[in-house]
Amino acid sequence: MRAVVFDRYGPPEVLRVEEVERPVPKEDEVLVRIHATTVNRSDCGYRGAEPFFTRFFTGLLRPKYRTPGMELAGEVAAVGGAVSEFVVGDAVFGLKGHGANAEYVCIRETGALAHKPSGVTFEEAAAVSDGACIALACLQKAELREGRSILIHGASGSIGTAAVQLAKSFGAHVTAVCGTKALDLVSSLGADAVIDYTQEDFTTNGETYDVVFDSVGKHSFRRCRHSLKPGGIYIETDLGFMWHVPILALSTRWIGDKRVTLPIPKYSKEDVLFIKELIEAGKYRAVIDRTYQLEDVVEATRYVETGQKTGNVVLTLNGVVR
């Protein structure tokens, strides 16, 4: 089968497409023939070994897993003997830690895999899981409900576009911050108010929120704390300069009345099923910026690394897009 591979950590150019052996599902695994996958910021972190400590999990000197890619949508091509939830031919979507930038991948039946929601294409289904699972983990810390307010900074990114839709589905009042080109898109995702960060600095406009979520790792608690109500929560997705975010997450448990959190996503079947339900209820959609062929993975990755994508970048295979 065709798969993206890399043998050393480095820039996007270390990636190439190669013929490799097709995996064989174990007793509890499903073999998925992938029609669409994505390149996301986590894939880029893995390939570039950023931050450095991730090498302790992904291979100290060279990558432990040669094929990157987390998100996938496709059809079940074979199942192990103990699999009962899926049969050959089922359309599925979900994610696993690595291996999805390929024609086939094996994934455990109990992993983050579900039947593809009706009415969405494989491209759309491939692009929903990572941003939504991370946003979900973040927002679960925010106790969002009717009457609570949240400001989402970086609302045009993969996590940001997911967070706007999830926060609305939880009933919160959502203020989204993004650049000029994404204002209409972010409004269409349901934001109650949209701030163009090139025109207005939300940290100095006097407005306060129950939650401030920096979904793109470009802000800081120091600058945002005056935008929080008493007892407010500041949510980050990045470790921050000199890893100050985890330190703040610990210290604000005991000091001050405003908390900092840095949630870690679970990537579970439960989360994927929750997202599927929202999609089928018309409350969630994947935002796709660009679509590339698998062979153009280097170009796709370079684009993701500009930090300027709107939503998600998809790779297609097999020419099947329904």
Ligand X SMILES: NC(=O)c1ccc[n+]([C@@H]2O[C@H](COP(=O)([O-])OP(=O)(O)OC[C@H]3O[C@@H](n4cnc5c(N)ncnc54)[C@H](OP(=O)(O)O)[C@@H]3O)[C@@H](O)[C@H]2O)c1
Alpha carbon 170 to its chain centroid, in Å, reads: 19
Tell me whether residue 25 or residue 160 sits nearer to ligand X (CB atom). Answer: 160
Tell me whether residue 59 or residue 179 sits nearer to ligand X (CB atom). Answer: 179
CB of 236 to ligand X, least distance (A): 8
Tell me whether residue 25 or residue 265 sits nearer to ligand X (CB atom). Answer: 265
Q: How far is CA 270 from CA 93, 129, 205, in A?
A: 13, 12, 39
Return the biggest CA–CA distance within the chain. Answer: 61
Positions that interact with ligand X (CB under 6 A):
40-42, 131, 134, 153-154, 156-160, 178-179, 181-182, 197, 215-218, 237-238, 265, 307-310
Tell me whether residue 46 or residue 93 sits nearer to ligand X (CB atom). Answer: 46
- Among all residues, whose Cβ is closest to ligand X? 179
Tell me whether residue 33 or residue 309 sits nearer to ligand X (CB atom). Answer: 309
- Residue 21 token pair: 């052996």
CB of 309 to ligand X, least distance (A): 5
CB of 203 to ligand X, least distance (A): 12
Contact present, 8 and 48 (Cβ < 8 Å): no
- Residue 101 token pair: 């930038």
CB of 289 to ligand X, least distance (A): 8
**How many whole angstroms separate alpha carbon 23 and alpha carbon 105?**
7
Tell me whether residue 39 or residue 92 sits nearer to ligand X (CB atom). Answer: 39
CB of 139 to ligand X, least distance (A): 13
CB of 90 to ligand X, least distance (A): 28
**How many whole angstroms separate alpha carbon 160 and alpha carbon 302?**
20
Alpha carbon 308 to its chain centroid, in Å, reads: 15
Contact present, 136 and 271 (Cβ < 8 Å): yes
Residue 196, H or E segment: strand 193-196
Contact present, 6 and 43 (Cβ < 8 Å): no
